[in-house]
Amino acid sequence: MIHSRIVGTGSFLPGEPVTNSDLVARGIDTSDQWIVERTGIHSRHLAADGVSCSELAEAASRRAIEAADVDPASIDLIIVATSTPDYIFPSSAALLQARLEIRNGGAAFDVQAVCSGFVYALTVADKFIRSGSHKRALVVGAEVFSRILDWKDRATCVLFGDGAGAVIVEAAERPGLLASAIHADGAYNPILCVPGSVSGGTVIGDPFLRMDGQAVFKFAVRVLGDVAQEVLTDAGLGTDDVDWLIPHQANIRILQATAKRLGVSMSRVVTTVDQHGNTSAASIPLALDLALRDGRIRAGSKVLLEGVGGGFTWGAVLLDM
Ligand code: ACO
């Protein structure tokens, strides 16, 4: 039986941290105290003008390829989870394949599930690998969310940041990905959306992120709790078996409420939202890479990844590292 395992991770954050006070200095009508109390965010990274999603993805991918010690030419599947692609088309995954100079005819495509994107992409890669159709995947979450923020809307622009995280997943005899689940309910699309498009050379609708913060908060805590239980039950494990919980890094209060609902201590939750803000599809692989590199996550650790985002979409992946 073929299984899939993560064999290397990498991540990349553009530029220097931008603190809450830096945002105030840039003229946003907010305060460090408001942002920290409501969200736990102290700083985030913002890509310079002209820096694209595929550029961030390339930097994170090169680190993951190095960590996995694999030949890029052996990567036969590239999936990029993003809501802020370089172009309408081609996909950021195809652009990343070109940046990495991979010309082996492997598959490359994007997954659009907003902040659940990485969990969706990892689930898809696992299914491709276990089917036997592909052997080694590069799965990336990469975002330049700063491009879709309305910097006049203080209730949203302070929450997000830019970055990328990547993993190499390959066929293995021992299971590394123990269980996964992905879900969506499109009826919730209005509570978090960028309700615009491009037509005839013009933006139709609104090109900025719009959010009903309180509705998102309640929805996120409910589904993150439910989907965690779903994958644990599927794997025949309980919350006590989980060494590290990595929820999507939207807001420290969502992380705390989710951990409480699952009965998991915050000391077992990897938290990056304080330093990264919400990097959407990049947040989970960024946190995974950080906790692997600083030694918290080790070989044999059980790690539960959980995403929730616009759509609404949600999902979880249980890993045996
Ligand atoms: N600085 C100062 N004041 C602010 C700011 C700000 N940045 N933003 C809003 N306010 C003010 C509002 O104007 C309002 O003022 P008023 O009472 O005078 O009218 C007051 O703060 C309260 O506003 P609310 O929107 O009710 O604030 P709330 O307590 O709901 O907190 C927040 C807002 C932090 C967005 C909260 O709803 C939340 O955490 N929601 C979760 C949403 C989230 O994390 N989304 C991330 C994307 S979704 C995802 O990743 C799944």
Q: What span, in angstroms and rounded, lies between the C-alpha atoms of 299 and 292?
A: 9
Total number of domains constituting the chain: 2
Residue 246: the pLDDT is 97
Report CA(172)–ligand 1 centroid distance (Å). 45
The identity of residue 207, as a single letter, is P
**pLDDT-derived band of residue 258, with 50, 70 and 90 as boundaries?**
very high
- Report the chain's mean pLDDT, rounded to a whole number: 97
Residue 306: predicted pLDDT? 97
69 contact partners, CB below 8 Å, separation of at least 6? 8
Catalytic residue among 53, 115, 157, 193: 115
Under DSSP, the state recorded for 278 is B
Positions of E strands within 67-219: 77-81, 107-111, 136-144, 162-172, 177-184, 192-193, 196-199, 202-205, 210-211
Closest CA to 167 of 20, 305, 1, 29: 305
Last residue in a domain, options 143, 174, 205: 174
Q: Same domain for 279 and 299?
A: yes
Q: What is the CATH number of the domain that holds 239?
A: 3.40.47.10
248 as an active site residue: the answer is yes
Confidence band for 305, pLDDT divided at 50, 70 and 90: very high
Query: Within this chain, do residues 186 and 165 fall inside the same structural domain, yes or no?
Result: no
Same domain, 150 and 205: no
CB atoms within 10 A of CB 267: 6
Q: Does 157 sit in the ligand 1 pocket, CB within 6 Å?
A: no
Whether 3 lines ligand 1, by a CB cut-off of 6 Å, is no
- Residue-level pLDDT at 72: 98
The angle, 0 to 180 degrees and rounded to 10, between the axes of the packed helices 32-39 and 252-262 is 20
Do 92 and 199 reside in the same domain of the chain? no
In the numeric block, which tokens belong to residue 115? 């902040």
Structure token pair of residue 304: 């539960």
**Ligand 1 pocket member 220 (CB < 6 A):** yes
> What does the pLDDT average to over 93-122?
98
Each residue's pLDDT tens digit, 76-99: 999 999 999 999 999 999 999 999
- Average pLDDT, stretch 226-236? 97
Residue nearest to atom 2 of ligand 1 (CA): 30
What whole-number percentage of the chain has pLDDT above 70?
100
What's the whole-number mean pLDDT along residues 169-190?
A: 97
Domain final residue, candidates 139, 174, 209: 174
Q: Is the CB of 159 under 6 A from ligand 1?
A: yes
The predicted model scores a pTM of 0.97
Q: Using one digit for the tens of pLDDT, what is the confidence trace for 212-226? A: 999 999 999 999 999
| Known active-site residue 115 | yes
- Residues 73, 59, single domain; the answer is yes
Domain co-membership, 214 together with 66: no
Do 211 and 290 lie in a common domain? yes
**CA distance to 239, 246, 318, per residue, from 235 (Å):** 11, 17, 8
Do 11 and 112 sit in the same domain of this protein?
Answer: yes
In angstroms, the Cα distances linking 157 to 15, 84, 154, 165 are: 18, 15, 5, 22
Same domain, 154 and 190: no
Is 278 annotated as catalytic?
Answer: yes
Confidence at residue 17, expressed as pLDDT on a 0 to 100 scale: 98
Q: Dump pLDDT digits (tens) for 24-63.
A: 999 999 999 999 999 999 999 999 999 999 999 999 999 9
- Domain containing 187: what range? 178-320
| Residue ending a domain, choose from 174, 195, 218 | 174
Check if 222 has its Cβ closer than 6 Å to any atom of ligand 1. no
Same domain, 164 and 183: no
Could you read off the pLDDT of 118-167 as tens digits, one per residue? Answer: 999 999 999 999 999 999 999 999 999 999 999 999 999 999 999 999 99
Residue in the structure block whose two tokens are 């060494």? 243
**Same-domain pairing of 229 and 313:** yes
Q: Which of 216, 224, 272, 313 to mutate to test the pocket of ligand 1 (most atoms within 8 A of CB)?
A: 216
From the CB of 213, is ligand 1 less than 6 Å away? yes
Q: Per-residue confidence at 16, pLDDT binned at 50, 70, 90? A: very high
Q: How far apart are CA 304 and CA 245, in angstroms?
A: 5
Say whether both 163 and 205 belong to one domain. Answer: no
